[in-house]
Structure 1
């Protein structure tokens, strides 16, 4: 899978119903640094998992509940690709995220 195909999937996800909308009022979270950091990590993980779930083929669909952030397995061009979503860059940083994902796919 080339970087252009990943870009198309990324853009399709951001415009799909599966893309989580950000909450508008986050005053309390922004004032609390630890909560803000946790929310950022959770948002990133959520976007990653939803993107992978809806825009890629799960390698082991019968075992979906065993898919974990540190061991998420998808099929790309007939090959199993294991991703550690915990190590991904911020999903909203499109360029870095797609570079990371493309690099993981090519391993």
Structure 2
């Protein structure tokens, strides 16, 4: 999948009418001062899960999606993404560069 298509999907997600609810949920976790870095990634997982699940194709079958492995299908290939490696979702340029590289390995 090319970078331009990922950027279009990202922009559509951020502009969706339900995004503010997702953002509130994620930011509440991300801004908790008592969380360590590993637990803070849970806030990023909220963004990742909703974006990947709704804007990318997920393979059919009995795959279990977790923050350490989320499978998507691109060009008939199943690709496992690791959310714990993802930069902050709201850093669009870094996030899309990471996702583009992860999808096109």
| TM-score in terms of structure 2 length | 0.81
How many aligned positions are there? 100
Correspondence for 1:88 among 61, 86, 100: 86
CA deviation after TM superposition for structure 1 residue 43, in Å: 2.1
Higher-Rg member (1/2): 1
CA deviation after TM superposition for structure 1 residue 40, in Å: 4.3
CA contact (8 A) 2:23 2:47 kept: no
RMSD over aligned Cα atoms: 2.4
* Matches for 1:11-90 after TM superposition, within 5 Å: 11-19=11-19, 20-22=22-24, 33-35=33-35, 40-59=40-59, 61-63=60-62, 66-90=64-88
| TM-score in terms of structure 1 length | 0.79
CA contact (8 A) 1:18 1:50 kept: no
